Structure 1
Amino acid sequence: MKLRDELPVDHHLAAVYRYGAGFCGLVLLTFACLGFADALSPFDTSGDTIAGMTTNVALSVISAVVGVALLAGAVIGGNFASTLNMVVGTLFVLSGFAHLFVLDRPANFLDFGMTNVIFSFVMGLCIATFGMYGRVSSKLPHDNPYWQRRHPEQAARQAPALPPTVAGTPALAESTAAIGSVRRPRK
């Protein structure tokens, strides 16, 4: 499967990628700003909770960077936003698994709790879904540009038929016969 397929500029899927990246970026930036407002030390593991999740300045910085990256992807849009969403979503899910193993251990320097792990899984799946929407599936419709790029021969065979007044139809044969029967005077 190729993820570098080009999406037409005006395709409706571009809006899904943009809005998905923008929404998730805003959620992460809000969480980061609330973490900065709490003003904890960078690697404090006994901080306050924000929206039920524990946080520290290091986690707020990471959330802000990822949020800004997603907002930049929303501004750029198209395939870039889709690919960025898939990469960031995958990283969130992997982060959830990694932090699941370091809960209540000294290696938990981002102060993840179980709610943070669940949020990481949910946000990762949400972001990845926005990125893969209409792009990665076994049942893409045949008018989807990704399906057409992956199956060029079949897409060419299924190209819309020419209207009945164009080559190879009875209407053209009649008009050609009528034009052929008209004689022009010789000079």
Structure 2
Amino acid sequence: MAHFPVNHPARPIYRVLAGLIGLYILVFGVWGVVLTIGDPLFDRGDNWALGLRTNLAFSLASVAFGIVLMVGASRRGNLGHYMNLTAGIVFLVTSILMMSVLQTSANFLNFSMSTVIVSMIFGLVLLGTGLYDKVGPEEHAEAERRNRNHPVREPQTR
């Protein structure tokens, strides 16, 4: 069974970190849309926004993802927990898939290696924040702390 710490003391820091990543992705997406607004959706041109190569499709997806991450970071419940876990996995899978087609015509999001690296870093950070920002009742948090500090031991047989 998965172990997610409940009410971790650094939870506000993790939420701020996820929010900053969401803000960067949102600003990148808006800047990319402004740069690529007249281009075809899946153009393989030489458009760069905030150090990452982009096209209109990737910029629009970034705007949507940035908004989703900002909403998740602003919520106090477990919505942000699940959104960060999901976004982390999506970023990691997307970066690996796009890296595998980087130099081919299948690179429909116009990724560069720097975009792959940034996506992997964001995916790992979002996955980490998702692992530690679970919220629950104080009874669950106390039970989780007891189990972590004093795990159940198997009875000794003679």
TM-score band, normalised by shorter chain: 0.7 to 0.9
Q: Distance in 2 between matches of 1:123 and 1:31?
A: 13
Q: Distance in 2 between matches of 1:19 and 1:111?
A: 29
Q: Is the 8 A contact 2:18 2:126 kept in 1?
A: yes
Distance 1:148 1:41, change over 3 A: same
Q: Distance in 2 between matches of 1:129 and 1:149?
A: 19
| TM-score, normalised by the number of residues in structure 1 | 0.66
Q: 2:144 aligns with which of 145, 148, 164?
A: 148
Residue 30 of structure 2 corresponds to residue 33 of structure 1: yes
Amino acid at match of 1:125: L
Structure 1 stretches of at least 4 aligned residues deviating more than 6 Å after TM superposition: none
| Secondary structure at the counterpart of residue 123 of structure 2 | helix
Distance 1:144 1:20, change over 3 A: farther
Partner in structure 1 of residue 17 of structure 2: 20
Q: Is the 8 A contact 1:17 1:77 kept in 2?
A: no
Map 1:45-60 → 2, pairs under 5 A = 45-60=44-59
Partner in structure 2 of residue 94 of structure 1: 93
Return 5+ residue gaps in structure 1 as ranges. 136-142, 156-187
Q: Is the 8 A contact 1:14 1:77 kept in 2?
A: no
Q: Is the 8 A contact 2:6 2:140 kept in 1?
A: no
**Quick one: percent identity of the two aligned structures?**
31
Q: Distance in 2 between matches of 1:77 and 1:13?
A: 13
Q: Distance in 1 between matches of 2:142 and 2:101?
A: 40
Return 5+ residue gaps in structure 2 as ranges. 152-158
Amino acid at match of 1:62: A
Q: Is the 8 A contact 1:18 1:78 kept in 2?
A: no
| Secondary structure at the counterpart of residue 78 of structure 2 | helix
| TM-score, normalised by the number of residues in structure 2 | 0.77
Q: Distance in 1 between matches of 2:48 and 2:61?
A: 17
Partner in structure 2 of residue 118 of structure 1: 117
Q: Distance in 1 between matches of 2:32 and 2:140?
A: 41
Deviation at 1:13, TM superposition (A): 4.3
Q: Is the 8 A contact 2:81 2:133 kept in 1?
A: no
**Structure ranking higher on relative contact order (CA contacts 8 Å, 6+ apart):** 2
Q: Is the 8 A contact 1:6 1:79 kept in 2?
A: no
Number of residue equivalences: 144
| Secondary structure at the counterpart of residue 54 of structure 1 | strand
Amino acid at match of 1:35: G
Residue 129 of structure 2 corresponds to residue 130 of structure 1: yes
Amino acid at match of 2:84: N
Deviation at 1:148, TM superposition (A): 1.7
Deviation at 1:12, TM superposition (A): 3.8
